[in-house]
Amino acid sequence: MKITYSIIIASLFFLMSPFLKAQTEDYQPAHEGWHVLLEDAHRESQQTGKPIMAFFTGSDWCRPCMRFSAAVFDHEDFKQWASDKVVLFELDFPRRRSVPEEIQQQNGMLQQTLGVRGYPTVFVFNLVANRESGQTEIQTLGSTNFVPTFEEFVERVENMLP
C-alpha cells in the first residue's frame, strides 16, 4: 500500500540548519549507525537510491520496543541486510534520556504526519519532490508494528520495497 503525505519538509530541514545541527551533534541514537536527523537520512537515501526505514520507539521505557530491537535489530544478519536495502532512521521518544529540542520537534511532526499511535512502529518511505507544488512529500511504501523474529520482519519489509 503506497500513500503519499504532503508535508513541508523544508520546515524540518530548516530546524536542522547548520547552527541548530551543531547543537544536535552530541545526541546519539539508541541504535548505533542510525540517523537521527531526517535531513541526513534523506541525503543518504538520495545518494544510494534506497528508501528510508523509520523506527519509532521509546527506547528506555517501551518493553515491546526493547524485545523488538533484541529480536530484529540485534540479529547478526540485520546490519548487512539493512545496508543492502534501506537507510536507517531512528525516531526515539525516551523518558529518561534528554533529546535536543530540534529532534523532539522533528520526531513529533513526523509521528503526527504518519499517524503513529504506538511503539514500536516502522515506516518505510521515500521523500519525493512534487514538481507542481515544490514541496517534498513522503511516499510511504508500508509500515509494520511489533514482529517477533528477524525473518518475519525481513519478509514484511521486503514486501514493501519497490
pLDDT at site 17? 53
What is the CATH topology of the domain spanning 3-20+30-160?
Answer: Glutaredoxin (3.40.30)
**Any idea where the domains of the chain sit in the sequence?**
3-20+30-160
**pLDDT (tens digit per residue) in 91-104:** 999 999 999 999 99
Residue ranges for the chain with pLDDT beneath 70: 1-25
pLDDT tens digits along 44-72: 999 999 999 999 999 999 999 999 999 99
Q: Which pLDDT score, from 0 to 100, does residue 162 have?
A: 86
pLDDT of residue 131: 79
- What does pTM read for this prediction? 0.85
Reduced 3-state DSSP string for 85-150: HCEEEEEECCCCCCCCHHHHHHHHHHHHHHCCCCCCEEEEEEEEECCCCCCEEEEEEEEECCCCCH
Angle at which helices 78-85 and 150-160 cross, to 10°: 0
Nearest to 8 by CA among 133, 102, 124: 133
**Residues 45 and 51: beta-carbon distance below 8 Å:** yes
pLDDT attached to residue 114: 94
